[in-house]
Structure 1
Amino acid sequence: MIMTEGRQPGADAAAFIAAARSDDPTHFEILTERHRRELQLHCYRMLANYEDAQDLTQETFLRAWRKRASFQGRAAVRTWLYRIATNACLDFLEKRNDRTPVPAGLANLDEVLYLQPYPDRMLPEDPQESAVARETIELAFIVAVQHLPPRQRAVFILRDVLGWPAATAAETLELTVGSVTSALQRARVTVRERLPDRRLDWSRPATHELSEDERSTVRRYLEAHQRNDLDGLTSLLRDDLRFVMLPEAGTSVITAKDAVDGWVAGGLFQPGHDDWRGLITTVNLMPAVALYLRTPDESRHRLFAVSVLHVVDGKITELTGFDAAGKSWLGLPATL
């Protein structure tokens, strides 16, 4: 279910106004905290970085408290908070010159070095908000959106992902309705170019459940790792595989052979880096494997990386690896 702006303010707004006027930070926090996960997901779509999204969600709550007197109940509390979060993200992006894709030197392929995975356990719990369209959280979508200028990105997310009316998006961004409509048209063209083979209708959510095809492929991927079976691993990769290891620059490749050759050249699957264990998991509503490596001087396998897979017809077409060490927010055990 797409979150639409059209919910009319009622008892929730009245309680919110009362909390704001009472200057009771505890009561105010209770009423805003219920929106944390959906706001954090919104910030993540804007920023592509989980840690930044956490920070900007907290900034949203701080701004909301400072601006509490401005809430008059003419819109839903959720809408008011989304407006604050959107503008907090835009302010953040205006100050950062390292939050744009970097050319990878390959045809039509840029590296989003700040991209981080989103743990599924942190998706919204509210049944009305938890039906997140899978396409709008998958890594390919998040990366495609990063190719939009920040304000155009905000328009696209507010209009096409959250389903807001043009007038509400225009008010949030201090633009005219005409400017919002024009920005949305340009954004759609860019996203279609970046996602040529993906479904582009986000008015209905896709299932959250992994298909049997995905489950089988990810299981075989883990088993091949644990056996150090390079032939078996290669057989799971489509020839035109797209691979990148983040946050390292210059790791993007667009063939399975180049990916495997790069892993071997980097020392993986060689003596000292050939004792693997793993856990099957999901991030960004996508199949993933948490890989653990035990080196000769260690007694336990330590969390090494998370491989996020896009599977089509039993083949891995995209593989995004993330350095997972020290990222407790992933909710993965540090050792096995």
Structure 2
Amino acid sequence: MDATEDRDALLAAARGGDGEAFRLLTDPYRHELQVHCYRILGSVQDAEDLLQETLLAAWRGLRGYEGRASVRAWLYRIATNRCLNALRDSARRPLDRAALHGEVPLPEPTRRRGRPTWLEPYPDLLLEELPDRAPGPEARYEMRESVSLAFLVALQELPPRQRAVLVLRDVLGFRGAEVADMLDSTEGAVASALKRARLTLAAEMSDADRDTAPLPDSPDERRIVEEFARAFERGDVGTLLELLTDDVWLTMPPLPLEYQGHAAVGHFLSTIALRDRRRYVLVPTRANGQPAFGAYVQDPRTPILHAHGILVLTLRGGQVAAMTRFMDTGVLSRFGLPRSLRRGDVPPR
């Protein structure tokens, strides 16, 4: 039995109510569909929810699937439209912005920007589960770039429909006619949306970061990351600044505050992050294809280290071009990291 006959047999069985056949039919696409939803929504939790909605809708709609498109394209159609519906629903709700009041007043930011306050990091552990499937020939972005934080942030600046079109065309490589069918649109409308999306993305993203970043897990990347971790754990702001580019950015989703440059970032590190000899332990991990850490603050009165979010580094050449600290400690579990550690249990780097 060839692949087409096998698929047809599974499809017939699934239409007859065979749940195992449906699982075998859809399982090869689960992980990539979740990443697709994450790109469009920016939230891992929302992506997980929308994946389940997609599979439920596919199960219920099997009798309406006529087989003119591949099972994969059919599932992407369902997932994309579910994501667009979710974005329309969320647009009607007030934004849930984090309170700006901390233990001490925060310095005046370089700028306040309506960045996606819902943005969450995506664990590389989940990316490793993606099937080794090359995108279509018209794709413009490699896998590593299309999950980077810079790409995700820029993508969230697009209107939802443009966002979906750009991901389907330039990341996944679907043809214009396929995307038009998925969105119940025309090829002309898809081409127009894609053109506008590309212009916005080009203005938002820096070519320098993606062109000069060291390869993942390369000796150059490991050296930079280790030097950064040692300086951060020592509270050595001077050494940290030597490791940062002159135009470095510091952001802290969900806070809409951004700090840029040595003066602003150094002041923030000295007066907020590393104030009063506060000490951290950084546990290595990876997020969005980038080096990252689970950050833990040492309690001077006990042997307990308390979770302080996920810190993701964006590298340019031999320096750190951006630090993104995700403040929600709830994301740690997705990286296999605990909410707290005892000092004796800290894993070696």
**TM-score normalized by structure 2?**
0.83
Residues 242 and 254 of structure 1 are in contact (CA less than 8 Å); yes or no, is this contact kept in structure 2? Answer: yes
Q: Which of residues 191, 212, 216 in structure 1 aligns to 2:219?
A: 212
- Distance in 2 (alpha carbons) for counterparts of 1:164 and 1:55: 24
Residues 90 and 151 of structure 1 are in contact (CA less than 8 Å); yes or no, is this contact kept in structure 2? Answer: yes
Which residue of structure 2 lines up, in the alignment, with residue 81 of structure 1?
75
Residues 214 and 221 of structure 2 are in contact (CA less than 8 Å); yes or no, is this contact kept in structure 1? Answer: no
Q: What is the CA-CA distance between 1:198 and the residue it aligns to? A: 5.1
Q: Over aligned residue pairs, what C-alpha RMSD do you find? A: 2.8
- The amino acid across from 1:13 in the alignment is R
Q: What is the CA-CA distance between 1:129 and the residue it aligns to? A: 5.8
- Distance in 2 (alpha carbons) for counterparts of 1:312 and 1:142: 18
Q: What is the CA-CA distance between 1:44 and the residue it aligns to? A: 0.6
Which residue of structure 2 lines up, in the alignment, with residue 127 of structure 1?
132
CA deviations on 1:133-165 (whole Å, 9 max, x unpaired) are: 211110000111111111111111111111011
- Distance in 2 (alpha carbons) for counterparts of 1:278 and 1:200: 25
Q: Which of residues 85, 92, 97 in structure 2 aligns to 1:91?
A: 85
| SS of corresponding position for 1:112 | coil
Residues 11 and 22 of structure 2 are in contact (CA less than 8 Å); yes or no, is this contact kept in structure 1? Answer: no
Residues 111 and 259 of structure 2 are in contact (CA less than 8 Å); yes or no, is this contact kept in structure 1? Answer: no
Q: What is the CA-CA distance between 1:200 and the residue it aligns to? A: 8.9
Residues 306 and 323 of structure 1 are in contact (CA less than 8 Å); yes or no, is this contact kept in structure 2? Answer: yes
Residues 237 and 270 of structure 2 are in contact (CA less than 8 Å); yes or no, is this contact kept in structure 1? Answer: no
| SS of corresponding position for 2:87 | helix
Which residue of structure 1 lines up, in the alignment, with residue 262 of structure 2?
256
Which residue of structure 1 lines up, in the alignment, with residue 60 of structure 2?
66
Which residue of structure 1 lines up, in the alignment, with residue 15 of structure 2?
21
- Distance in 2 (alpha carbons) for counterparts of 1:247 and 1:109: 11
Residues 134 and 285 of structure 1 are in contact (CA less than 8 Å); yes or no, is this contact kept in structure 2? Answer: yes
Of residues 18-27 and 33-42 in structure 1, the stretch that sits farther from structure 2 once superposed is 18-27
Q: Which of residues 258, 276, 280 in structure 1 aligns to 2:280?
A: 276
- Distance in 2 (alpha carbons) for counterparts of 1:99 and 1:77: 37
- The amino acid across from 2:292 in the alignment is A
CA deviations on 1:103-129 (whole Å, 9 max, x unpaired) are: x98569542211110001111332226
Q: What is the CA-CA distance between 1:324 and the residue it aligns to? A: 4.6
| SS of corresponding position for 1:19 | helix
**Structure 1 position 221 matched with structure 2 position 210:** no
Which residue of structure 1 lines up, in the alignment, with residue 102 of structure 2?
none
Residues 280 and 296 of structure 2 are in contact (CA less than 8 Å); yes or no, is this contact kept in structure 1? Answer: yes
Identity of aligned residues (%): 38
- Distance in 2 (alpha carbons) for counterparts of 1:17 and 1:28: 7
- Distance in 2 (alpha carbons) for counterparts of 1:105 and 1:121: 33
- Distance in 1 (alpha carbons) for counterparts of 2:297 and 2:113: 30
- Distance in 1 (alpha carbons) for counterparts of 2:47 and 2:6: 25
- The amino acid across from 2:266 in the alignment is V
Residues 112 and 258 of structure 2 are in contact (CA less than 8 Å); yes or no, is this contact kept in structure 1? Answer: no
- Distance in 1 (alpha carbons) for counterparts of 2:109 and 2:90: 23
Residues 216 and 290 of structure 2 are in contact (CA less than 8 Å); yes or no, is this contact kept in structure 1? Answer: no
Which residue of structure 2 lines up, in the alignment, with residue 6 of structure 1?
none
Q: What is the CA-CA distance between 1:225 and the residue it aligns to? A: 1.5
Residues 180 and 190 of structure 2 are in contact (CA less than 8 Å); yes or no, is this contact kept in structure 1? Answer: yes
Residues 123 and 287 of structure 2 are in contact (CA less than 8 Å); yes or no, is this contact kept in structure 1? Answer: yes
1:293–1:196 Cα change, 3 Å: closer
Q: What is the CA-CA distance between 1:211 and the residue it aligns to? A: 3.4
Residues 210 and 286 of structure 1 are in contact (CA less than 8 Å); yes or no, is this contact kept in structure 2? Answer: no
Which residue of structure 1 lines up, in the alignment, with residue 271 of structure 2?
265
Question: Aligned ranges for residues 1-336 of structure 1 at < 5 Å?
Answer: 10-97=4-91, 110-123=114-127, 124-128=129-133, 133-197=143-207, 209-249=216-256, 251-266=257-272, 268-271=273-276, 274-327=278-331, 328-334=333-339, 335=341, 336=346
- Distance in 2 (alpha carbons) for counterparts of 1:222 and 1:99: 38
1:11–1:324 Cα change, 3 Å: farther
More helix by share: 2
- Distance in 2 (alpha carbons) for counterparts of 1:93 and 1:218: 36
- The amino acid across from 1:294 in the alignment is Q
Q: What is the CA-CA distance between 1:287 and the residue it aligns to? A: 1.3
Gaps of 5+ in 1: 1-8
Q: What is the CA-CA distance between 1:199 and the residue it aligns to? A: 8.5
